[in-house]
Amino acid sequence: MSVTMTMAGRRPRGGLLAARLGARGLLHLVLVVVGLVWLLPSVGLFISSLRPANLISSTGWWRAFATPFQFTLENYAHVLGQANMGRSFLNSLLIAIPATVMPLLVAAFAAYTFAWIPFRGRTTLFLVVVGLLVVPLQVTLIPVLRLFNGLGITGSFPAVWVAHTAYGLPFSIYLLRNFIGELPGEMMESAGLDGATHAQIFFGLVLPTSVPALASLAIFQFMWVWNDLLVALIYLGGTPQVAPMTVTISNLVNSYGGGWEYLTAAAFISMLLPLVVFFSLQQYFVRGILAGSVKG
Amino acid sequence: MSVSTVLWALVAVVGVPLALSAYLFAVEGALKLAGGRARARLRPWLWLAPAAILLVVFLIYPAVNTAVLSFFNATSTQPVGFANYRYIFTDPAMLVVLRNNLVWLVVFTLVTVTVGLLIAVLSDRVRYEGAVKAVVFLPMAISFVAAGVIWKFMYQFQPAGTTQVGTINAILTAISPGFKPQAWLFNKSQNNWALIIVGIWMWVGFAMVILSAGLKGISESVLEAARIDGAREGQVFFRIILPLMRSTLTVVATTLVISVLKIFDVVYVMTNGALDTEVIANRMYKEMFNYQNFGRASAFAVILLVAIIPVMILNIKRFGRSGS
């Protein structure tokens, strides 16, 4: 880009327009290629998931557009019925929904305290939370697994809920504190002067005004848990009864090897909900990501 | 699906918020009984208690415990000094693991930031910016597992001369007739790059969204003034836009560094570390579950933590400056 522009500046006037058009054309070309590179892999997966097994392994997915058209829902029927994907879809929901709801209030309490209840060591403690933001989960896996083993809850949903709740807390507290901290001080003070207790201010004033932040946070946490492989793998294990979709698919990858007709369908099923969330709630999702990084 | 599982989920979704609310009102009720000074002193700690307990039990204590375990043997029964670390930093196979993480760290971070910035700057100049950004951001919404399947499919390989079903080999053989189809995930000279490309494909959207927001924050009049003074587009970019976006670039780069150090899913799903593609997090998983060596697994985890500490300090400093 910049090279073309630079050369354009030195050319006589007549060539300037042509160079401009050339640069514009190059710009569009680059962006179209970018669009294709980012879209084609997913499109290829989706189209393949609708093709019969013998065609997937013998011709490229782009040949699906050549006559005779041959599409089928057989692959979806198989993975949902026999490859445990139906069950796994429910498991993913049963893991992600509680793991999304549980940290919200816990984090909001802490965020409110850090923002509006003065006490000694407040800044230091909050910096500890900021530090915990980047602690790799790996460093907690063995002791927490042993704790769950000791309690006899390894392989159960409550174990994963609690783990995801705790792991999500540093980010949740951080994001909510930034939001709650920016609420107008006069609003808080006048509520305090009217004799409202902290609990009343929190539930009556702070929580209702924080709904946008809570929504961003909930979407972010939901997507994180829904897409998680590691935590499920460690604390749930691979038993089909409890496995979420990520675990089931990674098992499929290992056992089927080349069974692309099932893998593509299974992968697409797992993408379905994130894609819906992405297209309907994109702004909240992006806002969550921006809040998590830019504000620091 | 047993009924009791669903029931438990319902209890968690409804019961946990209710119980937490009840706890808070109980705390405030109890504080009313306490004297003024005790009240002010106790309140923050009681409000923080649920979060603090979870953080201590699931993050802080385990981290300390893991550090201790890294100096013990496989079954955590006997102290072994630095043996686990010595093994990781001298065994040839482990050195490959460390090398791979380093390659991931440098290549992934640099390319993702650069491509993200490029797309942010270029798409800023066209009317269909929203569409380009949505498409590039899309992979952020799906799991690494799904992305792994998508790209394993892209990288498929059939021997030369037969029909190529994998998109990449098909495109390359179509463009240049002399091209020999490659087994991207099996050739040791290519497989790490093939995996890193998947990571880049997933994360460029993140870098782009944040850098684009930073770019929009630069006032148009500054750029206009420079252009009127005769600055060329290249100069505007390198002399004005880039310096003004330094802090945003740092934020993006540090976030990428944190995520790439613990890269796991994509390797686990696509190669499981075979043929010299192993990374720390995947190796740690194997040490835990395949070899039951909790000492070595802990040492790997500690190495990740230590590698991240500079970023942690940077974050804390940055927040300490801007926050309070």
Q: What percent of chain B has pLDDT over 90?
A: 57
Tokens, residue A282: 């994109």
What is the reported pLDDT for A295? 39
Q: Looking at B15-70, list the stretches that DSSP marks H as alpha helix, in order from N- to C-terminal side.
A: 16-33, 36-55, 61-69
CB atoms B288 and A142 under 8 Å: yes
B301 touches chain A (CB under 8 A): yes
Q: Which residue has the tokens 């793998």?
A: A233
Give the CA dihedral B213, B219, B225, B227, nearest 10 degrees. Answer: 10
ipTM for the complex shown? 0.90
Interface test with B, best of A11, A80, A138, A214 (most B CBs within 10 A): A138
User: Which distant-in-sequence residues (6+ apart) come within 8 Å of B24 by Cβ?
Assistant: A109, A199, A202, A203, B47
CB atoms A227 and B297 under 8 Å: no
Concatenate the DSSP letters of all residues of B229-250 into one string. TT--HHHIIIIIIHHHTHHHHH
Cβ atoms < 10 Å from Cβ of B220 = 8
A159 HSE (CA, 13 A, CB side): 22
Using CB atoms, which residue from A35, A157, A270 is nearest to B135? A35
From chain A, the residues in CB contact with B297 under 8 A are 141-142
CB atoms A139 and B41 under 8 Å: no
Interface test with B, best of A62, A91, A134, A234 (most B CBs within 10 A): A134
Chain A residue closest to B269 (CA)?
Answer: A250
Nearest CA distance, A137 vs chain B (angstrom): 8
Higher per-residue confidence, A184 vs B283: B283
Contact of B88 with B98, CB cutoff 8 Å? yes
Q: Which residue has the tokens 């294709």?
A: A36
Closest C-alpha among A193, A175, A209, A168 to residue A290: A175
- Alpha-carbon gap, residue B137 to B127, rounded angstroms: 17
CB atoms B122 and A126 under 8 Å: no
Instruction: Enumerate residues 127 to 156 of chain B having a beta carbon within 8 A of any beta carbon in chain A.
Output: 128, 131-132, 134-146, 148-154
Contact of A278 with B138, CB cutoff 8 Å? yes
Query: Coil, strand or helix: which one is A151?
Result: helix
Average pLDDT, integer, range B161-175: 85
What is the reported pLDDT for A24? 86
User: Which distant-in-sequence residues (6+ apart) come within 8 Å of A238 by Cβ?
Assistant: A247, A251
B272 touches chain A (CB under 8 A): yes
Contact of A249 with A263, CB cutoff 8 Å? yes
Torsion angles phi and psi, residue B80, rounded to 5: -125, 15
From chain A, the residues in CB contact with B264 under 8 A are 229-230
B177 touches chain A (CB under 8 A): no
Average pLDDT, integer, range B157-161: 81
CB atoms A41 and B131 under 8 Å: no
Nearest CA distance, A70 vs chain B (angstrom): 17
Residue B135 carries which side chain, given as an amino acid letter? V
From chain B, the residues in CB contact with A48 under 8 A are 153
- Alpha-carbon gap, residue A263 to B19, rounded angstroms: 42
CB atoms B55 and A249 under 8 Å: no
Burial (CB count <10 Å: 0-12, 13-18, 19+), residue B175: exposed
Nearest CA distance, B50 vs chain A (angstrom): 6
CB atoms A246 and B143 under 8 Å: yes
Residue B22 carries which side chain, given as an amino acid letter? A
CB atoms B298 and A142 under 8 Å: yes
Q: What percent of chain A has pLDDT over 70?
A: 91
From chain A, the residues in CB contact with B52 under 8 A are 110
- Which H or E element spans position B88? helix B83-90
- Alpha-carbon gap, residue A292 to A168, rounded angstroms: 12
Q: Return the minimum-mean-pLDDT range out of A49-63, A156-170, B266-280.
A: A49-63
Higher per-residue confidence, B53 vs B125: B53
Q: In which band, very low, low, confident or very high, does the pLDDT at A82 lie, cut at 50, 70 and 90?
A: confident
From chain B, the residues in CB contact with A59 under 8 A are 163, 165
Contact of B245 with B255, CB cutoff 8 Å? no
Q: In which band, very low, low, confident or very high, does the pLDDT at B322 lie, cut at 50, 70 and 90?
A: low
Average pLDDT, integer, range B295-319: 91
CB atoms B1 and A161 under 8 Å: no
Using CB atoms, which residue from B44, B167, B297 is nearest to A119? B44
Q: How would you classify residue A142: left for phi > 0, otherwise alpha for psi between -120 and 50, otherwise beta?
A: alpha
What is the reported pLDDT for A177? 92
From chain B, the residues in CB contact with A263 under 8 A are 149, 152-153
Residue B323 has pLDDT above 70, yes or no: no
Interface test with A, best of B14, B136, B143, B257 (most A CBs within 10 A): B143
Contact of A292 with A175, CB cutoff 8 Å? yes
What is the reported pLDDT for A296? 34
Contact of A225 with A235, CB cutoff 8 Å? no
Residue-wise pLDDT tens digits, B5-53: 888 888 889 999 999 999 999 998 888 888 778 888 899 999 999 999 9
B268 touches chain A (CB under 8 A): yes
Residue A201 carries which side chain, given as an amino acid letter? I
User: Which distant-in-sequence residues (6+ apart) come within 8 Å of B206 by Cβ?
Assistant: A289, B112, B116, B137, B140, B252, B255, B256
Closest C-alpha among A108, A169, A113 to residue B59: A169
A149 touches chain B (CB under 8 A): no
- Alpha-carbon gap, residue B106 to B173, rounded angstroms: 30
CB atoms A289 and B47 under 8 Å: no
Tokens, residue A78: 């198989």
Closest C-alpha among A147, A225, A217, A226 to residue B56: A147
Using CB atoms, which residue from A246, A260, A282 is nearest to B153? A260
Q: How many CB pairs under 8 A join A and B?
A: 339
- Alpha-carbon gap, residue A268 to B142, rounded angstroms: 10
Higher per-residue confidence, B72 vs B274: B72
Q: In which band, very low, low, confident or very high, does the pLDDT at B273 lie, cut at 50, 70 and 90?
A: confident
From chain A, the residues in CB contact with B312 under 8 A are 131, 133-135
CB atoms B149 and A45 under 8 Å: yes
CB atoms A290 and B272 under 8 Å: no
Tokens, residue B306: 């230590």
From chain A, the residues in CB contact with B141 under 8 A are 223, 271, 274-275, 277-278, 285
Torsion angles phi and psi, residue B111, rounded to 5: -65, -45
From chain B, the residues in CB contact with A149 under 8 A are none
Residue-wise pLDDT tens digits, A111-162: 999 999 989 999 999 999 989 988 999 999 999 999 999 999 999 999 999 9
CB atoms B145 and A123 under 8 Å: no
